[in-house]
Chain A
Amino acid sequence: MAVSQDTPAPAAGFTQSRVGHGKDWLLLVVCLLSTCIGGVALFTLLAYVLVDAAGWLDWQFLTSTTSRFPEKAGIFPALVGSIYMAALLIPPAMVLGIGAAVYLTEYARANKLTKFININIANLAGVPSVVWGLLGLGLFIQLFGMRYGTLLVGSLTMTLLILPVIIIASQEAIKAVPDSLRQAAFGMGATRWQTISRVVLPRALPGILTGTVLSLARALGETAPLIMIGVPTAVFATPGGVRDKFTSMTMQLFSWSDYPQPEFQYGVLAAGVVTLLVVLLSLNALAIYLRHRFQNRHG
């Protein structure tokens, strides 16, 4: 998940292109179309889903548990489970992520070890989700003996999954803080930690938060790791604590897609997809809001 800082537009005046040549028009059209195609495709798919979900997505759906009857099936335990899991991810992921990013940008010397750690993190960011599930299974469940399919194992596994991306995003945010500010702080006699905690981090926080929120959105959309750690697809109560079993919206959708009754495939599933997308879009919107709100303060 690429998170890039918004740098000021270079040469805004140069958007006035020399549109005399036909090739210029062609380039503009091609580029514009390309930008739009992906969105149009997605938009069409979303429209289809919304149509299918009509009549199925109602209050009953949002507040019921799953059922063998399509009309009675609902997404409530899965919705709550997903939200709990996401909330539990925030403290460890942020602490570890910011900690690692701070070390790598502020403390680490530019030597082979640092380079190795950075390459390693970049690599981890690309590890397929199913492999993270195997790690969760082998490490937390089999080695540490934790109970399978619980919020604890789920959030630990997902924390590790999103950690590399949070570290990379935080590094970018911290690096974007101008060095002159650090120098100014040192010039006044501040220690490194004082500089970091009172000058660098506050300014990097918007970028860090954006990265975290987008990573949470990613975590909410994952299925494969949860399958491997034995997350159930049928629970009838919301989890009361971290050692309770939970299910996620993605697991519920995956399970519903296999039910024989066509109403599950075209009605219930569509309603579930819309619910999940609404939650994710809200998170994305939150990220955008955060990015805008706190960015403009730094000129």
Chain B
Amino acid sequence: MTQRLQATTLAVLGTLLAAMVLTGCGGGDDGGDKLSGEIQIAGSSTVYPISMAMAEEFSKLHPNVKVSVSSTGTGGGFKNFFIPGKTDINDASRPIKSSEVDKCREKGIEPIELTVGIDALSMVANKESNWTDSMTFAQLKRIWGPDNPPAKWNEVDASWPDAKLELYGPASTSGTFDYFTETVIGKGGAHRSDYHKTEHDNVIVQGIQGNKYALGYFGFAYYVSNKDKIKAMAIDGGKGPVKPSLANAQSGAYPLSRPLFIYVSSKALDKPHVKAFVEFYIRKSATELVSQVGYVPITDAQMTGNLAKIGVK
């Protein structure tokens, strides 16, 4: 009896072990590719799709370079991973803070800032919201700001309907939120608090679809993937209403365009495979690879500038 049990246990463990070894040996041939090593990326969940797409393409070209991307949030990424030297690149949806720069330098790391894309923050509403197709900064500030936030549409503009505003937006602890409060409302953290908060932008889409009087905001990627379900307001930042689009964001005409960054560790750049990856990243961020994930690619001028920063002509 004991022997059978022992035999079965051994068989099970043995199979598991064999499976491990076999799958581990799936290295395959690399066609003589000399680049190998690890690249570790962490940080903002907003920039994550770009880094992930870059890693995806780079891994196909260089199978021996193992790229891993974690979505930890910009701040957590800096503190827990980038500054202690555990990651080579930190994705960031906001510029690095000076306190964070100081801490990097204390550890002998120089963070190199590279713009890798632009997000056209979209203000979205239900498709049947026919009372307006555009909104001004002033109106947005009135709707979303913390001072006496209006409960109904017509409190903001008398020609708008007498119906309750159903608002959806990012939870406060996010780069999108930070950008919106600083740019539209004018002060970080200044935001009304009675709205549906979520980090799941897909849910905002559902919420807006389900309610004629709903209004929300999120990154361009979620608008463009759901264009048939929701509509985006044109934003008037003082120069007339501009609809969110890749072209408008790239030209700077769209007022709610925010740059997306990666910060590369100077120490990591010394490694050839990291430098190759960053160069690949910079070049590709001027192509449609970025628009495939819903952001605006950088201009060729920005690309050249970035390449110079890492020492490539």
Chain A residues with a Cβ under 8 A of chain B: 65-69, 80, 83-84, 87, 90, 137, 141-142, 147-149, 202, 205-206, 209, 230-241, 244-245, 247, 255, 257-262, 265, 286, 290, 293-294, 297
Contacts and interface: CB of A to CB of B under 8 A. Distances in A.
B300 interface: no
B42 A237 contact: no
Contacts of B86: 147-148
A262 B230 CA distance: 13
Contacts of B130: none
B292 A68 contact: yes
A236 B55 contact: yes
Contacts of A286: 12
B260 to A, nearest CB: 15
Interface stretch (B13-21, B172-180, B275-283): B13-21
Contacts of A83: 16, 19-20
Interface stretch (B23-31, B142-150, B233-241, B247-255): B23-31
Interface string B223-246: 011100000000000000000000
B290 to A, nearest CB: 10
Contact of A233 (B12, B69, B201, B292): B69
A273 to B, nearest CB: 16
Contacts of A141: 80
A223 to B, nearest CB: 13
B225 A87 contact: no
13 contacts: A68-B52, A69-B292, A90-B13, A90-B16, A137-B80, A142-B80, A148-B86, A209-B9, A232-B42, A232-B68, A238-B23, A245-B40, A245-B66
B63 A237 contact: yes
Contact of B66 (A205, A244, A259, A262): A244
B52 A262 contact: no
B68 A235 contact: yes
Given A230-B70, A236-B67, A265 B5 contact: no
A149 B40 CA distance: 10
Interface string B28-69: 000000000010101001001101110110010001001111
